[in-house]
Amino acid sequence: MLASFLTAEWRKLAMANYAVSPDLLKSYVPKHTELDVWNGVCYVSLVGFLFDNVRLKGIPLPFHRSFEEVNLRFYVRYCDEQGNWKRGTTFIKEIVPK
């Protein structure tokens, strides 16, 4: 089995979801995807958490083992060749310490 490229634990997670007009996000939607909605409503999420025990290919990263992150994201989907919907996240902004 191949080792994961990046692994980490999410700690102290806080998430706030806001309903927004899809028009606000149109310019951010990646090619070949569309906005993913829930019950007909489009959401953005503001997420804050602690990235802990960060490893790259199983190796701990010096000076980056534990750090905070805040991101603003929304949700997209696309239809694969078999007709199955695949869902994903698009990040508008990620804030991490330097």
Is the distance from CB of 21 to CB of 43 less than 8 angstroms?
A: no
User: So what's the pLDDT on residue 1?
Assistant: 60
Amino acid at 51: F
Per-residue pLDDT of the chain (98 residues; tens, 9 = 90+): 667 898 999 999 999 999 999 999 999 999 999 999 999 999 999 999 999 999 999 899 888 889 999 999 999 999 999 999 999 999 999 999 87
What is the spatial distance between Cα 66 and Cα 51, in angstroms, rounded to a whole number?
Answer: 5
Q: Please report, for the chain, the start and end positions of each structural domain, with discontinuous segments joined by +.
A: 6-95
